[in-house]
A and B are shown apart, each in its own frame.
Chain A
Amino acid sequence: MVWKKHDYDDLPGTYVFDGERTHTSYNLNKMAFSFNSPENRAEFSADMDAYCRKFELSDEQRIAVLEGDFPALLRLGGNIYYLAKIATFHGMNMQDAGASFQNITTEQFKQKLENNAAGFQQHLDKRGGYWNG
């Protein structure tokens, strides 16, 4: 038995959510999915450790959930949309998580986004035809 290699495995800093990842992290993502229900969120908040054990998370996964260690949760197979449902318990949103993957502050992460988009209006002017107010 072997997990097939893919061309996207070589993308740097990227964890493509495929069969291998979803298979190895099923319980973690299943627990996150349960947080759509307010009753389950209350039960998790009351005793996070017990709730993780109920979903049979691995020790590594459970500790990462309790510590809000999102780089670890990503490495352990968490899907980013499901991790969003966990992040909220740690007072975090997707930009906070994005920053944590790079070990920078959320402000630095937001600046990175601004920098990446800087000057976009010149690109629009060059191509032409874009609405511009």
Chain B
Amino acid sequence: MGKVIGGLTTSHIPAVGNAMANNLEQDPYWKRFFDGYKPVISWLEEEKPDVVIVVYNDHGLNFFLDTVPTFAIGCADTYANDDEGWGIPTTASFEGDAQLSWHLSESLIEQGFDMTMCQEMKVDHGCVVPMNLMFRHLPTWPCKMIPLAVNTVQHPMPSAKRCHDLGKALRVAIESYPEDTKVAIFGTGGLSHQLQGERAGIIDVEFDLECMDNIINDPDKMTALSNTQIMEKGGTEGIEVIMWMVMRGAISPNVNLLHKHYHAPISNTGAGVLLMTDGTD
């Protein structure tokens, strides 16, 4: 049977991708940020997921504003990265798991989440930067990857609660897959940042740490927030934290927290890392 072996959260900003491409991990600006990923990388090496589901948002590579799916899932055998127009290096393609993707789609739709299913899906930095953060030291991607895109570009966007509920349904879907498959979930993006307007440059450390604590211990406090409340504190692009809630929903109500890391600023953001597995209820 399918099994959720754990979930993690990470930033996905392009500046991190460029730092990796330029081998800046030991640079004073970046060192503490990258060092904080070592426990997560070790955990992935030990647990060896068969598949990772990367919950991210597309920033104008695969989806244009002509068609904006609220929740989209890749249902292909492979996913390619491609030119985003401003110079971030592209990476090797990813192997998908179409059978699992179609099972997840069937189960999620049966549970009331009307996914958009994509048989061709280019994955942008939102998906690729997290994969590079975890696996770039290896010669090839060590596991399959399924992209799950959440609209965090154009309002109206799904609520934190809806994302959390999607995660719960995703767990049910994974656990009903007939083949033994170890699945890890990556919730990506965030934390506080605003790229636009006179208010650009928001970093709210207290809000970020409050979000991280609540996601670990009391996710209902996160799901009680409206998207406007999240944007007010965490900035318009900080809304990406709703994607962490998809990961959180896929883990048991009580979690076993293995790692908690925060650094700021990283480019324009507060950057948080969580690694969690099922706890005992």
Contacts and interface: CB of A to CB of B under 8 A. Distances in A.
A86 to B, nearest CB: 9
A87 interface: yes
B205 to A, nearest CB: 5
Contacts of A131: 36, 39, 259-261, 273
A127 B195 contact: no
B228 A8 contact: yes
12 contacts: A11-B199, A12-B199, A17-B155, A32-B85, A41-B85, A84-B59, A84-B85, A87-B86, A101-B197, A109-B201, A113-B268, A131-B39
Contact of A36 (B61, B199, B227): B61
A36 B61 CA distance: 7
B144 interface: no
Contacts of A80: 195-196, 236-237
B195 A123 contact: no
A13 B201 CA distance: 11
Contacts of A129: 257, 260
A114 B201 CA distance: 10
B267 A95 contact: yes
Contacts of B195: 80, 94, 97-98
For the residues of B in contact with A, the DSSP-based class is loop
A66 interface: no
Interface of A: 6-8, 11-19, 22, 26, 29-30, 32-33, 35-38, 41, 74, 79-82, 84-85, 87-88, 93-95, 97-98, 101-102, 109, 112-114, 116-117, 119-120, 123-124, 127, 129-131, 133
Given A88-B86, A116-B265, A117-B265, 17 more contacts: A14-B199, A16-B155, A22-B65, A29-B60, A74-B197, A79-B65, A94-B195, A98-B201, A98-B268, A101-B198, A112-B201, A113-B265, A116-B202, A120-B262, A124-B262, A131-B259, A131-B260
A41 B156 CA distance: 31
A16 B204 contact: no
Interface residues of B, number: 54
A79 B86 contact: no
Given A113-B268, A124-B209, A85 B155 contact: no
A108 to B, nearest CB: 10
B87 interface: yes
Interface of B: 32, 35-36, 39, 59-61, 64-66, 82-87, 153-156, 194-206, 209, 213, 226-228, 231-232, 236-237, 257, 259-265, 267-268, 270, 273
B198 A12 contact: yes
Contacts of B263: 120
B83 A36 contact: yes
A123 B32 contact: no
Given A14-B194, A30-B65, A131-B39, A117 B259 contact: no
